[in-house]
Amino acid sequence: MKVIIVGPGALGTLIAAFLSRARAEVWLLDKNKERSRLLAEKGISVEGVSGSWQARVRASTSAEEIGPADLVIVCVKSYDTKEAVMRVKPAVAAHTMVLSLQNGIGNIEIIGEIVGSDKVLGGSTNMGATLESYGCVRHAGKGETVIGRMDGRIPVEIRSVREIFQKAGLEIRISRDIKGVLWSKLIINVGINAISALVRLANGRLTEFEGTRRVLREAVSEATRVAKRKKIKLMYDDPLAKVEAVCEATSQNISSMLQDVLNKKRTEIDFINGVVVRQGQELNIPTPVNSLLVDLVKTLESSYRVTEEKNG
């Protein structure tokens, strides 16, 4: 199987390394020429829960050079989805499946508009990965990956995706309700990411303080009301208990949004809490806490530029 992974960040790099173990032809598509050259020359170095090992992969900045793929895995930040899929589109053939393993809601729709919705798979993964440097990734935690089509069908193509992941030694299953899976993860992210980014605390500390617990509770409650109105079946009965359990289980983890803020990068707030706000407005469901979180995180993002201008 020929696989193109778009986005050599932590998750994309780790998945590329694993899939190379399954003797797949793995390519990393990157817009950074220097990074692409280093990946092609040196490969990927993995440390962590799966041991210490090396993987050889191919890398390019040109989808035309790579040619038609059997599977494309999109691992970029949600705000880069459109640009990334346009870049890989020349390698999307009639038989190609495109799998989104991204945070938030809306990526599947964006991808479908570009390559056709019949080609798109949604996915969610609990694998933990931290990028130490170009081509060096820490496998921080094992976890299941869930994939599926929005229409619930399970054609032979999706079974072949499951097979290549299994050959690579990765936990994977197919769901007939990927929308429920994605919303279940969204609600967890709604309860953790923005709050941790604003107060700059690791996940586990969010439940230690009454203030953050109260905000977490309200943000999750608003998201849950939206999901229920949309008749989305969540993977857990008690969303608040689930979010608090995730905080405890990942107590030392720094959320991806906090990492973005610390590195003065754009966040995925529009695809997480922003989804709750927009869909709440459409359904006439008030979402004041999520609206406030969106405004505050966007203010933080704007402050990067203001600070840089003052220092400059």
96-109 as b/e: b if 16+ CB within 10 A: bbbbbbbbbbbbbe
Catalytic status, residue 185: yes
Contact indicator for 212, 201 with CB cutoff of 8 Å? yes
Q: Which of 31, 185, 233, 265 is catalytic?
A: 185
Identify the three-state secondary structure at position 284.
coil
Query: CA 70: distance to chain centroid?
Result: 21
Question: Rounded CA gap, 203 and 192, in Å?
Answer: 7
Cα angle 117, 69, 136; round to 5: 105
Cα angle 80, 34, 265; round to 5: 35
Which residues are known to be catalytic?
Answer: 185
